Amino acid sequence: MTLIPSSKLASAPSLLSPLPCINKPISQKKIESVLNHHIPGLTSSERIMASHIVGYPRMGPKRELKFALESFWDKKSSAEELEKVAADLRASIWKQMADAGIKYIPGNTFSYYDQVLDTIALLGAVPPRYNWSGGEIGFDTYFSMARGNASVPAMEMTKWFDTNYHFIVPELGPDVKFSYASHKAVNEYKEAKALGVDTVPVLVGPFTFLSLSKPAKGVEKTFNKLSLLDKILPIYKEVIADLKAAGASWIQFDEPILVMDLESHQLQAFTKAYSELESSFSGLNVLIETYFADVPEEAFKAVTSLSGVSAIGFDLVRGAKTLDLIKGGFPAGKYLFAGVVDGRNIWANDLAASLTTLQALEGIVGKDKLVVSTSSSLLHTAVDLVNEPKLDKEIKSWLAFAAQKVVEVDALAKALSGAKDEAFFSANAAAQASRKSSPRVTNEAVQKAAAALRGSDHRRATNVSARLDAQQKKLNLPILPTTTIGSFPQTLELRRVRREYKAKKISEDGYVKAIKEEISKVVKLQEELDIDVLVHGEPERNDMVEYFGEQLSGFAFTANGWVQSYGSRCVKPPIIYGDVSRPNPMTVFWSSTAQSMTKRPMKGMLTGPVTILNWSFVRNDQPRFETCYQIALAIKDEVEDLEKAGINVIQIDEAALREGLPLRKAEHAFYLDWAVHSFRITNCGVQDTTQIHTHMCYSNFNDIIHSIIDMDADVITIENSRSDEKLLSVFREGVKYGAGIGPGVYDIHSPRIPSTEEIADRVNKMLAVLDTNILWVNPDCGLKTRKYAEVKPALQNMVAAAKQIRTQLASAK
């Protein structure tokens, strides 16, 4: 195989372009021929280099799975048609990874929704409310757990470690009855094998699965989740036996929970679990994969001490300190899967630096025990640069998406074996040098302004209680004011208008007219529903981060750089390559236009600096907090321009503040200090009468509630309904919150329409722990992904519930 210099990647055929379903097996002879095209004189065993990919994006280069899922959910296509799209995607990825030279190709990393939900299905851990009667779990039960149905809500969803990917949270109690209820792992192994590709089946490890679960209702405070290990390990043994019988020689267990701060009893449970599984591992090579951070020393000792485990994978990008542990002693005879190619970002690997690291590791573990790998699954990066023909050529030379990262892994493995592609390495070195010296990366004025921020904490001059009094005099809102989070449904017609405007098929006047009409429709609907504080619906916005990034300097954008967020939902993160500033106002025109259509308060809608940072691919050549301060200054300018334009309520979303929290507790304080500071910078200059809202999405907020209070927002709206109102527990435990707060009263990620009674019940639970004069009534999140047929009745019921309780409160006086 001749590797392609990065300067020629744009014109080369796509490494992972969509392929038709493969109908005949790939011969081993063909694979070796492709792998070794330019490496003469090597034996067959030497030619297959030690390379590995932890996992791969599942949506497809053009989001093929997304569209197939949504068509199936809308009953426009059959289960067989959905399965055909999925099979084609799997076959394409497996074949092309084999052709690229990867020795250890991951299997079972494909999912119709989420890999943790797949594990719930594998173990038959279906909550009783879904009325599953046993047997192999099918689409009905699977998607009901993920999305809810007409009768019951979906399972809780939260962030996967510190990523923007969401997983379905297992609900487990002492009475759950596990069973081997999904044969997906072995079926996909057989599917790949029939195509001539021997994959490494990947399973979410039992320790991580239980650690990420939540206790079922009624046993939250008394139940030890790890006590279920004895119940689930027999299922894992069945799966292992099936995979072994099918011919698997390697199995990968993902145990990323090992990078967290774990107590000794937890590590003992981990060790016990794999000791119990050891008898099942006979005749297999077992890889335990960790990622997203350093592995603490005690966890490192625990995982490297397991006698039945053949290999251990470490993230050496975000876990650079793990290198010191490896140098201090790595067990002889075990494979080290060295994650030196970044699975979380899109910058091209510094191949020379990685090769130096690998050569040092080779001296510790031995040449035949070192495997070049990605730092994590490539699920968290975009699919293929070849799908970006319009991306700036210089910036493009600095990047590597998933397909290019596969090439980088293979190139490093070959270089390590003595078959270094000098042209490829030279092109990479030139791109690294170009990025360091490019004048478009640095803006001295921006750097000085950001550096000057460190001398103050940027708090508003008046406390929140006094501000709320001033704001109420101006806004005159009822108790339990109703609002929504920002976006309204993005219809096909609306998307068409934006697409055609971008393609210059309609004029600017035509575009503005169409967007104004949509805003008018949204405003009138909210007035008809009698919502108190309105939004303009964000019809002009493609994405809550991309929209702002397109108007800020230092950002670049892709056409197809999609990354899965949850289910079929994909986001297209901007690329922050240089210093950030705001050349012009970004939202003032649309917010002012919307306010002119109503006498009710209209929220100006902004995305906060921490969320823009955490939902972008961020430059890795300066500390993240420096980039965040730059973004905060840009948003500050926008906030002050909105206030000057007469917008009295401004929402600065920090949906991703919690997800950026480092995985290790020792690093929390530093992150929260600069993240909260960044938010306060954005609004420290506004008048007391300007009400500042913020919004936060799915996460576990209870452990950072004091930092949320320290943000000093006037009102916070926050996810609550899908997490079984877990947020309210922090107030039951005595935390005093004096600002306005709107815990979400219904889940917008499900098509289910909640009743007035259900919403009223939820509000009454909130009133049991929150003062009447600070509580707001709102959905969990924005309504962009929903249909108007769902949104109208849901909001109608929400307003009706608020009015019902207002009446009850008034009569109780």
Q: How far apart are the first and last CA of the chain?
A: 80
The answer to whether residue 45 scores a pLDDT higher than 80 is no
User: Closest by alpha carbon to 558, among 360, 389, 374, 792?
Assistant: 389
Average pLDDT over residues 555-570: 95
Report pLDDT for 733. Answer: 72
d(CA 60, CA 65) in angstroms, rounded, equals 6
Tell whether residue 283 is among the known ligand binding residues.
Answer: no
Average pLDDT over residues 319-326: 93
d(CA 394, CA 552) in angstroms, rounded, equals 19
Contact 805, 763 (CB under 8 A): yes
504-551 pLDDT tens trace: 999 999 999 999 999 999 999 999 999 999 999 999 998 889 899 999
Report pLDDT for 724. Answer: 58
Residues with a catalytic annotation lie at 749
Contact 110, 188 (CB under 8 A): yes
The set of residues, in sequence order, having a beta carbon less than 8 Å from that of 564 and lying 6+ positions away, is 57, 58, 59, 165, 379, 570
Helix (H, G, I), strand (E, B) or coil at 657: coil
Helix (H, G, I), strand (E, B) or coil at 51: strand
Tell whether residue 781 is among the known ligand binding residues.
Answer: yes
Dihedral sign, Cα of residue 428, residue 429, residue 435, residue 439? negative
Contact 258, 205 (CB under 8 A): no
Tell whether residue 628 is among the known ligand binding residues.
Answer: no
Widest pairwise Cα distance in the chain: 91
* 393 CB-contact burial (10 Å; exposed 0-12 / middle 13-18 / buried 19+): exposed
Helix (H), strand (E) at residue 591: helix 588-595
Q: How confident is the model at residue 699 (pLDDT cuts 50, 70, 90)?
A: low
Report pLDDT for 749. Answer: 79
d(CA 670, CA 661) in angstroms, rounded, equals 10
Average pLDDT over residues 174-181: 95
d(CA 156, CA 146) in angstroms, rounded, equals 8
Helix (H, G, I), strand (E, B) or coil at 326: helix
d(CA 186, CA 176) in angstroms, rounded, equals 24
Tell whether residue 695 is among the known ligand binding residues.
Answer: yes
Average pLDDT over residues 274-287: 97
Residue 591 vs residue 749, higher pLDDT: 591
Report pLDDT for 722. Answer: 63
Instruction: Count the neighbouring beta carbons within 10 Å of the beta carbon of residue 601.
Output: 20
Q: How confident is the model at residue 723 (pLDDT cuts 50, 70, 90)?
A: low
Residue 243 to residues 104, 228, 337, 809, Cα–Cα distance (Å): 16, 23, 22, 61
d(CA 293, CA 113) in angstroms, rounded, equals 25
Tell whether residue 697 is among the known ligand binding residues.
Answer: yes
Q: How confident is the model at residue 389 (pLDDT cuts 50, 70, 90)?
A: very high
Q: How confident is the model at residue 29 (pLDDT cuts 50, 70, 90)?
A: very low
In sequence order, the β-bridge partners of residue 581 are: 553
Tell whether residue 710 is among the known ligand binding residues.
Answer: yes
Tell whether residue 487 is among the known ligand binding residues.
Answer: yes
Report pLDDT for 705. Answer: 86
Contact 206, 273 (CB under 8 A): yes
The set of residues, in sequence order, having a beta carbon less than 8 Å from that of 582 and lying 6+ positions away, is 551, 552, 553, 633, 634, 635, 637, 638
Tell whether residue 719 is among the known ligand binding residues.
Answer: yes
- DSSP letters of 159-197? ESTTSS-EEEPPEE-TT--------HHHHHHHHHHHTT-
Distance of CA 226 to the CA centre of its chain: 26
Average pLDDT over residues 323-344: 96
Contact 551, 564 (CB under 8 A): no
Name residue, tokens 């099936």. Answer: 242
The answer to whether residue 729 scores a pLDDT higher than 90 is no
Instruction: Enter the tokens of residue 365.
Output: 């573990």
Contact 185, 203 (CB under 8 A): yes
The answer to whether residue 115 scores a pLDDT higher than 90 is yes
Helix (H), strand (E) at residue 354: helix 351-365
d(CA 781, CA 717) in angstroms, rounded, equals 8
The answer to whether residue 15 scores a pLDDT higher than 70 is no
The answer to whether residue 17 scores a pLDDT higher than 50 is no
d(CA 97, CA 539) in angstroms, rounded, equals 40
Report CA dihedral (626, 629, 633, 636) to the nearest 10 degrees.
Answer: 170
Tell whether residue 444 is among the known ligand binding residues.
Answer: no
Tell whether residue 380 is among the known ligand binding residues.
Answer: no
Instruction: Enter the tokens of residue 190.
Output: 């057989």
The answer to whether residue 4 scores a pLDDT higher than 90 is no
Q: What is the rounded average pLDDT for all residues in the chain? A: 91
User: Closest by alpha carbon to 438, among 408, 394, 379, 403?
Assistant: 394
User: Closest by alpha carbon to 208, among 281, 290, 284, 276?
Assistant: 290
Dihedral sign, Cα of residue 322, residue 326, residue 332, residue 335? positive
Tell whether residue 641 is among the known ligand binding residues.
Answer: no
Instruction: Count the neighbouring beta carbons within 10 Å of the beta carbon of residue 196.
Output: 17
Instruction: Enter the tokens of residue 139.
Output: 């689409």
The answer to whether residue 92 scores a pLDDT higher than 90 is yes
Report pLDDT for 602. Answer: 98
417-474 pLDDT tens trace: 999 999 999 999 999 999 999 999 999 999 999 988 877 879 999 999 999 999 999 9
218-235 pLDDT tens trace: 787 789 999 999 999 999
What percent of the chain lies above the pLDDT cut of 90?
83
User: Closest by alpha carbon to 601, among 730, 665, 689, 672?
Assistant: 689
Average pLDDT over residues 6-16: 34
Contact 255, 208 (CB under 8 A): yes
Report pLDDT for 734. Answer: 65
Looking only at the bridges linking them, the beta strands covering 157-159 and 166-168 are antiparallel
Tell whether residue 706 is among the known ligand binding residues.
Answer: yes
- DSSP letters of 551-564? TSEEEE--SS--EE
Report CA dihedral (776, 781, 785, 786) to the nearest 10 degrees.
Answer: -30
Average pLDDT over residues 125-129: 96
52-81 pLDDT tens trace: 999 999 999 999 999 999 999 999 999 999
Residue 733 vs residue 710, higher pLDDT: 710
766-785 pLDDT tens trace: 998 889 999 999 999 999 98
The set of residues, in sequence order, having a beta carbon less than 8 Å from that of 110 and lying 6+ positions away, is 58, 86, 89, 90, 93, 188
Contact 377, 291 (CB under 8 A): yes
* 792 CB-contact burial (10 Å; exposed 0-12 / middle 13-18 / buried 19+): middle
Report pLDDT for 748. Answer: 86
SS3 per residue for 450-519: HHHHHHCCCCCCCCHHHHHHHHHHHHCCCCCCEECCCECCCCHHHHHHHHHHHCCCCCHHHHHHHHHHHH
Average pLDDT over residues 696-702: 69
Name residue, tokens 């950002």. Answer: 555
Report pLDDT for 813. Answer: 72
What percent of the chain lies above the pLDDT cut of 70?
92
Report pLDDT for 779. Answer: 94
The answer to whether residue 28 scores a pLDDT higher than 60 is no
Residue 396 to residues 24, 379, 387, 621, Cα–Cα distance (Å): 35, 20, 11, 16
User: Closest by alpha carbon to 208, among 298, 338, 79, 116?
Assistant: 116
d(CA 231, CA 668) in angstroms, rounded, equals 35
Report pLDDT for 697. Answer: 77
Helix ranges (H only) for 684-733 are: 705-710, 728-732
Report pLDDT for 698. Answer: 57
- DSSP letters of 427-456? HHHHHHHHHHH-TTS--HHHHHHHHGGGG-
The answer to whether residue 727 scores a pLDDT higher than 90 is no
Q: CB under 8 Å, gap of 24 or more: what pairs does 262-271 form?
A: 262/296, 262/298, 262/299, 264/298, 266/211, 266/226, 267/298, 267/299, 267/302, 269/207, 269/226, 269/229, 270/207, 270/299, 270/302, 270/303, 271/302, 271/305, 271/306
Tell whether residue 66 is among the known ligand binding residues.
Answer: yes
